[in-house]
Chain A
Amino acid sequence: MNKSVQQQLEKAPNRTLYLSTIGIILAALLVWSFMGVNITGFDQRGTQIASNIFSGLFSPDLGFLFDFTSGGGVPSLLFETIAIAFLGTIFGSFLAIPISFLMSPSIVSRPVAFVTRLVVIFIRTIPSLVYGLMFIRVTGPGPYAGVLTMSLTSIGMISRLYVDVIENLDRSVLEAMTSMGCNTYEKIRYGVLPQLFSSFLSVTIYRYDMNLRDATILGLVGAGGIGAPLIFAMRAYRWSEVGSILIGLVVLILAVEIFSNKLRERLVNG
């Protein structure tokens, strides 16, 4: 063995201690959480309910599932959910535009960006259900409260993603435009906005996808959407109705996800 090989061998980084420390901490945390969570298996009743839900899924209340006319069926409930998510996303994405500019260190000064960031983190940490309850005091129970909740809760993520877009703007285009003799307005209109528009739109569509999921749970506090009928049906043990709602929900969310992915792909590829 020659000397330089010997030297390199001794230089081998030793991460055993580091890795085993992390391993022990992880194991301790795992044991701790096992102690905390009250592990209960399927008891008689639970198994019964699980099988009821399954049979409900496979024999849904078809009349309820395809009730397009009365306004109380799955389609109209889903439609309400879609509408809540849609308006919430539109409002949220518009509100996020000024906020995201206030959050970008390349647009405003660092302290301003930092403070806005803190405010947004604050907004984000409050769970949407709590907002839902607050807005119900303003508007009374119903889908309107849901729309306001969605608008507020989507601001956090949308503005954060907008900031990434703003920070990654291609500034070389602006240089080229300056060389062509464009003024500031022209540079923003033809150099900045076209870059921002499609990326912002892509973010918004992505958030719509998420809002749709969130809108389904707002019903649990009475802020409209399909959540409330679901919880009522479950509390009343109407399993075939539960099955219909779940099927409708899964199909809708899958369809929107596929559609929004296609749409965003086309936005990116032009």
Chain B
Amino acid sequence: MIEFKDVNKTYPNGVTALNNVNLTIDQGEFVAIIGLSGAGKSTLIRCINRMHEINEGTLTVNGVNVGKLRGKQVRRFRRKIGMIFQSFNLVTRTSVINNVLISTVPELSWWRKLLGLFPKAQKVDALEALDKVGILDKAYNRVDQLSGGQQQRVALARTIAQHPDIILADEPVASLDPVTAKVVMDDFKKINKETNMSILINIHHVELALEYADRVIGIRQGEVVYDGKSEDVSQDVLDKIYGSIDNVPKMEDQEEADL
């Protein structure tokens, strides 16, 4: 369970990213977070695994007060939270399986860490993760030989091999074409159903958000302006989130997505 209580976040340059956010997300929910670029979607997600610090309020994840964690505790805490990025953030000059194996690095002994020698059990685990996202046959290819959609699935496999409770996805399909985007979203849905991981996705494509997520959170200028079932999102709600009708992204609004 993720719980935001009166959370505020201001960047050193004075920009308010989160303003009095109160949210409760239960285990196993599939949540889409929508809003304009710069509304604070990315900040919201990154506070959950302490990639960003919050200034005020409390944020609890599975009973742990995130703000209180120090050094090693932060890293151990992050092990249970997976993260997916818009630009995949893979090591492109090495093989697919090596990327997936990185998720197990903290558990290795120091000499294995140094030499990059992974035990067989973990290799099997990594391959199974690749199998789940359907790119098992690419295991020994170099990442830069894969297409964008395949790379995002490698990133997804890397997260699965981490066996997290929560997956945070920051614009996971923004740099993919519409068809591939759907495939990746299907993967998210499947994982959500099969493993009961909570999934939080920042997303620009409103249609995709409404189609896949159970719950939609709308953010505007750091404030939660909508929180409810995806079926209940109406044009009025969208207007409230995006300001005027002009700002509402239509499907495949690539200009918005690339920001």
Contacts and interface: CB of A to CB of B under 8 A. Distances in A.
A9 interface: yes
A4 interface: yes
Contacts of A5: 124, 127-128, 131, 136
Task: With a 10 A CB-CB cut-off, give which of B120, B123, B127, B137 has the most chain A CB atoms.
Answer: B127
Contacts of B124: 1, 5, 9
Interface string B113-129: 00000001001100110
A4 B131 contact: yes
B140 interface: yes
B127 A9 contact: yes
Contact of B136 (A1, A8, A12, A13): A8
Interface in B118-161: 120, 123-124, 127-128, 131, 136-137, 139-140
Interface residues on B, range: 10 to 19
Main secondary structure of the interface of A (DSSP, over half): loop
A124 to B, nearest CB: 32
Interface string A175-201: 000000000000000000000000000
A2 B140 contact: no
A12 B128 contact: no
Contacts of B128: 1-2, 5
Given A1-B124, A5-B124, A12 B131 contact: no
Nearest to A11: B140
B100 to A, nearest CB: 12
B123 A2 contact: no
A170 B146 CA distance: 28
Contacts of A12: 97, 123, 140
Interface in A1-51: 1-2, 4-5, 8-9, 11-13
Contacts of A4: 131, 136
A2 B136 CA distance: 12
Nearest to B127: A5
A23 to B, nearest CB: 12
Contacts of A9: 120, 123-124, 127
Contacts of B139: 8, 11
Interface of A: 1-2, 4-5, 8-9, 11-13
6 closest A-B pairs by beta carbon, nearest first, are A5-B127, A8-B139, A8-B127, A5-B128, A1-B124, A8-B136
Interface of B: 97, 120, 123-124, 127-128, 131, 136-137, 139-140
20 contacts: A1-B124, A1-B128, A2-B128, A4-B131, A4-B136, A5-B127, A5-B128, A5-B131, A5-B136, A8-B136, A8-B137, A9-B123, A9-B124, A9-B127, A11-B139, A11-B140, A12-B97, A12-B123, A12-B140, A13-B140
